[in-house]
Amino acid sequence: MPASREVTIAPSILAADFGNLASAAGEVASATSWLHVDVMDGHFVPNISIGPPVVASLRRHSGAFFDCHLMISEPLRYLEPFARAGASSVTVHVEVGRTGEVLDAARALSLGVGLALNPDTPFEAVEPYLDRIDLLLVMTVFPGFGGQSFMAEVLPKVAEARAAIDRGRLDVSLEVDGGIDESTAALVAGAGARVLVAGSAVFRDARPWEAVRRLQTAAQGDVPRGG
Ligand code: DX5
Ligand code: ZN
């Protein structure tokens, strides 16, 4: 088994039909146990998406690992509602500030703890927190919208994060988010990412579960057979 390049695909429901989220979750359940939930507050990012009530509703239909990406300015205020709603992990942005306090609060709620950084935020901003998190999310687009183009200039930062995690022998999942498709999956996996968020590439496909499997194959650097 190619353990070194094994990746998890986290389908982003931002690209799914919001009127049919339960079926969207069902469409990928055979291919991955993760679901990426993009939470936007119209303040940290210029868009509004979903909040704890939607997570709670979806939880009644899905046993997936809910990887909640909080693109919000006041995470401290909403960690508990997300925990109660059934979030599995919460990932907060380092740009928001009070990072240590937020990570501690998420840990105290028994949530998985993730830290995200924007394309223009240097790796040094998250480095002090690496031994306190379960997941590091390196954004490969500026957050706020699905369907944007992958920013290849972020690849060196992914490699830098991989090297630091390996050097410290840390149990931190390295995740990337934004513009992941079958061609960019190989690039980010090659740079060291092991959890790949994909919205459009999964839910714009007529068979989302097959799209997930193709991304997994693509991340291995192989050419998918049979199209
Ligand atoms: C962007 C979100 C992403 C987005 C990814 O703000 O954090 O998770 O849904 O969408 P695609 O895969 O379409 O770039
Ligand atoms: Zn996201």
What per-residue confidence (pLDDT) applies to 5? Answer: 78
pLDDT digits 0-9 by tens, 168-192: 999 999 999 999 999 999 999 999 9
What per-residue confidence (pLDDT) applies to 3? Answer: 47
**Residues of the chain under the 50 pLDDT cut:** 1-3, 223-227
What per-residue confidence (pLDDT) applies to 204? Answer: 97
Instruction: Please state the φ and ψ torsions of residue 127, each to the nearest 5 degrees.
Output: -55, -40
What per-residue confidence (pLDDT) applies to 221? Answer: 87
Closest residue by Cα to atom 4, ligand 1, is: 146
Residue among 67, 104, 177, 181 flagged as catalytic? 177
User: Are the beta carbons of 183 and 221 closer than 8 angstroms?
Assistant: no
- Choose the residue to mutate in 13, 14, 93, 183 for probing ligand 1, maximizing ligand atoms within 8 Å of C-beta: 14
CA 200-27-181 angle, to 5 degrees, is 25
**Residue 47 Cβ < 6 Å to ligand 1:** no
- Residue labelled with tokens 């119209």: 42
171 is catalytic: no
| Domains in the chain with CATH codes | 8-220 (3.20.20.70)
pLDDT digits 0-9 by tens, 105-142: 999 999 999 999 999 999 999 999 999 999 999 999 99
* Alpha-carbon span 183 to 185, nearest angstrom: 6
What per-residue confidence (pLDDT) applies to 222? Answer: 53
What per-residue confidence (pLDDT) applies to 9? Answer: 98
**Residue 179 Cβ < 6 Å to ligand 1:** yes
Task: Give 124 Cα–ligand 1 centroid separation in angstroms.
Answer: 24
What per-residue confidence (pLDDT) applies to 1? Answer: 44
181 is catalytic: no
What per-residue confidence (pLDDT) applies to 101? Answer: 98
**Residue 119 Cβ < 6 Å to ligand 1:** no
How many other CB atoms are found less than 10 A from the CB of residue 195? 21
* Alpha-carbon span 186 to 152, nearest angstrom: 12
Beta carbons within 8 Å of 41's beta carbon, 6+ residues apart: 48, 71, 72, 73, 74
Integer angstrom CA distances of residue 27 from 23, 35, 130: 6, 11, 34
